[in-house]
A and B are shown apart, each in its own frame.
Chain A
Amino acid sequence: MRMWAQSHLCQKPRRESTLLAAAFAFVFLILSVSPANAIPAFARKYGLRCSACHESWPMLNYFGQKFKDNGYQLMNDRDAPIWQNPGYWPITFRITPIWHRVSTNRVQVDQYDSSGSIIGTGGTAEAKITTSGFDLSGLDFHTGGTLEKNFSFYVLPSSDPTASFHFETVMARLDNIGNSPWLNVKLGKFELDNLLSEKRILTLTGEGGIYQLYHFIPAGDNNIYGQMGDNQLGVEVLGHSANDRTRYSVALLSSNDGSVELPYGEESYSTFITGSQAFDAGRLGVERLGFYVMAGEAPTAFLTNGGAPIAGSGTQNKGYSREGFVGQFYFGPHFDTTVVTQHGEDSAWFGQGYGDPIDFPGSNNNIPGVSALPAGSRNPTWNGVLIEPHLVVSPQMILIGRYETIRMSQQSTPGTASNLGNITTYTTGVRYNPFMTSRAGWAYHAEYNWWHQDGTSPVTGNNLTSSELLLGFDFDF
């Protein structure tokens, strides 16, 4: 649920705001001391509390991951809808009313001369902007489950805060083919099999509500196709052992970043491959180690009409890749840490701004026989790491931390500052569920994110920094 525009409007936190936030959080906790004894919504089908599947809603724990891997089935021979009350319809909506303050240190602004006229063609200076106020997230309608034993689906119409809808997920799945958990097939638009799921992220701010590692594009690069945090269109084969300790998935994807109606290449595909193995670590819990590889090709050349690129005509595919390791480490029931690493590489063509002239008119179009890379152009490469620790005070309360950093190891254009586009971000937050059911969820949410990128301010090329404080009620029903 990516909910609000990633604005970078900023100024330093004011004392009044900080006090208000503290009071807000305090009142939350005082007013919400009630037992988690409501009737879980999952009881409509399975009679399990949502804490059974979620380390903290919406993030899955190992049991929830197995449930998902089984095609939203408990595998109890009562999964088919024929066993349910005919009135049962598995639908949930989620929306989050919030108050937040967003600030960015360098926003492109106009300058005026003494007569009141804009200097230049506009946007010739930078200013720090901070804004705050009450706001809304987008709205998600989740519906998913089984159509019959071993036939499952998931459909998620999702809106932005202005109620403009799109299909975030539309997926049908054949489960346990040949009565084997090792063979399942998924077709449609779906989240890639990231062990640390961005769609189930516990944080909500513009920059902290995504994993930077899953969306990173080097400065000047125009490869939008390698964003492993975005749901993608394709087919996925996945499998797992009976206890889900061993997992794998292989997906064939259209290189279109999940966009419908074939807007980009004529024939451009990518793949996403994952594998992981969990280990029983006694009193510590279960530890998991895994890897992922996203690799593929995407177009750089488009036919044009009147200079405008024609959708679906993309050719001259160039390559890209992202690969890394994932570790989920538990230190008893109350503390765990997830680590994700990434090494990424784009073709020099992407690095020089080719890739997506459809969404970015005016950007480079690789006209065969005409276009050429600047001398010395290289494949941009980078490395990154994400560390996300959780302190699970109780099934109803979790403290979240996150540190992400991405460092360029090779710029596409020689002589470019080696740190251009580097990202560092910290996020911290707390979620408290005053009650915990699977019929409905409610979390008091407080979060702070600080985000920094080297050399990408719009006018001066200085460092860009933003921060966001967010307080809200995150609920679903």
Chain B
Amino acid sequence: MAVHTNLLKWLLALSVVITLCLPGNSFAQLTTNQVQDWLHSPAATSHVGNLTGHAPDAQYQYRRYCVGCHGELGDGNGENAMWMEPPLLQKPRNFQLGIFKCRSTPTGTLPTDQDLFDTIGRGMDRSNMPSWNTLSKQERADLVALVKHFSPRFQSEKPGTPIQIPPEPEITDDRIKAGQAVFQKVECWKCHGAQGMANGPSASTLTDDLGRTIAPFNFTDGSRPKCGTTDQDLYRIFMTGLDGTPMPSFSDNIKPEEAWDLVFYLRSLMSQPSVEKQMAKKMGLKPVNPSSGP
């Protein structure tokens, strides 16, 4: 009887220990040890122009600038993350997943070092990720290496090959109209709305890959696109997609010439002054009619 009692006690104690440990094990995808091991791996370097970044050199700056949101393990669970509520503010990026919105590479692939470098320098509009362009280029290159070392994907995968962006053609009335037709055809309006006001029929239903509410981009409220404001950036956004969000890549649906047409039309929707906006106004271009179908 005493043996059984002791055995029961041990089993009880064991079950308590296992129960206590389970939440921690299932929550943390990577351990401190794993992350530490990868700090000196080949993937924990970056190459941006003639700069080479090293993850260990960025630890101090990461602690100073980044850890409050992105967390010690780069899992996006810094102490401030709980105060960021989608859709008003997106949660910090979980670097461990290796999924990034702003890329020059095809959807589903890893970004280049330059992509990550540009994101750190540009910041993410409508989020608490500011532009870190006050840091030196070397410091940013080091941070790129540190960001990469958090994800197992960078340990085993290479970045995708950047998409080719043909030279920007001349802006014409016809091209803006053609862009509107593309906007209609690929049903951008379903999320972004017929006038680009982020009020399409699907807008309120959108969630990101982690199930968090997410809002489509409003072209009309003066916001800047998250992944850059140049025409090339706009082209890149819808040809590579914003991975992790409902914004897909349209590279299989839109030809390069059509992509430029779409860029011109999107410019005409944006509140910022532009040639395209003036031309569309002069033409009397009306918003797309969702009921007319693609």
Contact = CB atoms under 8 A, between A and B. Distances in A.
Interface of A: 37-40, 43-44, 46-49, 51-52, 61-63, 65-67, 74-78, 83, 242-244, 280-286, 333-334, 394-395
A333 B60 contact: yes
A51 B62 CA distance: 11
6 contacts: A43-B68, A48-B128, A63-B130, A63-B135, A283-B57, A333-B64
Contacts of A67: 130
Nearest to B121: A243
A83 B128 CA distance: 12
B80 A48 contact: yes
A74 B222 CA distance: 16
A47 B132 contact: no
Contacts of B123: 74-76
B65 A51 contact: yes
B63 A244 contact: no
Contacts of A74: 123, 128, 130
B79 A77 contact: no
Given A39-B79, A52-B65, A76-B123, A282 B136 contact: yes
- Give the most central of B67, B68, B125, B138: most A CB within 10 Å: B68
Nearest to B82: A39
B68 A48 contact: yes
A454 to B, nearest CB: 42
Contacts of B205: none
A243 B83 contact: no
Contacts of A39: 79-80, 82-83
A38 B78 CA distance: 10
B190 interface: no
Given A66-B134, A74-B128, A395 B223 contact: no
Given A62-B135, A285-B139, 16 more contacts: A37-B79, A40-B80, A43-B83, A48-B128, A48-B130, A49-B64, A49-B68, A62-B134, A63-B135, A76-B124, A76-B126, A77-B223, A242-B133, A243-B131, A244-B134, A394-B60
B137 A280 contact: yes
Nearest to B89: A78
How many interface residues does chain B have, given as a range?
35 or more
Nearest to B68: A49
A46 B63 contact: no
A90 to B, nearest CB: 15
Contacts of A334: 60
For the complex of A and B, 7 pairs with smallest distance between CB atoms: A47-B80, A49-B68, A243-B133, A62-B134, A47-B128, A43-B80, A74-B130
A63 B139 contact: no
Nearest to A282: B138
Contact of A285 (B130, B136, B223): B136
A43 to B, nearest CB: 4
B138 A44 contact: no
Given A44-B83, A63-B134, A286-B134, A76 B127 contact: yes
Nearest to B69: A47
A73 to B, nearest CB: 9
- Give the most central of B80, B89, B224: most A CB within 10 Å: B80
A395 B82 CA distance: 23
A77 B125 contact: yes
B18 to A, nearest CB: 27
B136 to A, nearest CB: 5
A283 B57 CA distance: 9
Given A39-B79, A63-B65, A75 B134 contact: no
A37 B132 CA distance: 22
Contacts of B139: 285
B163 interface: no
A39 B60 CA distance: 19
A38 B123 CA distance: 24
Contacts of B81: 47
B97 to A, nearest CB: 20
B84 interface: yes
B88 interface: yes
A49 B67 contact: yes
Contacts of B133: 242-243
A88 B82 CA distance: 16
Contacts of A47: 68-69, 80-81, 83-84, 89, 128
A62 B80 CA distance: 22
A38 to B, nearest CB: 7
A65 B133 CA distance: 12
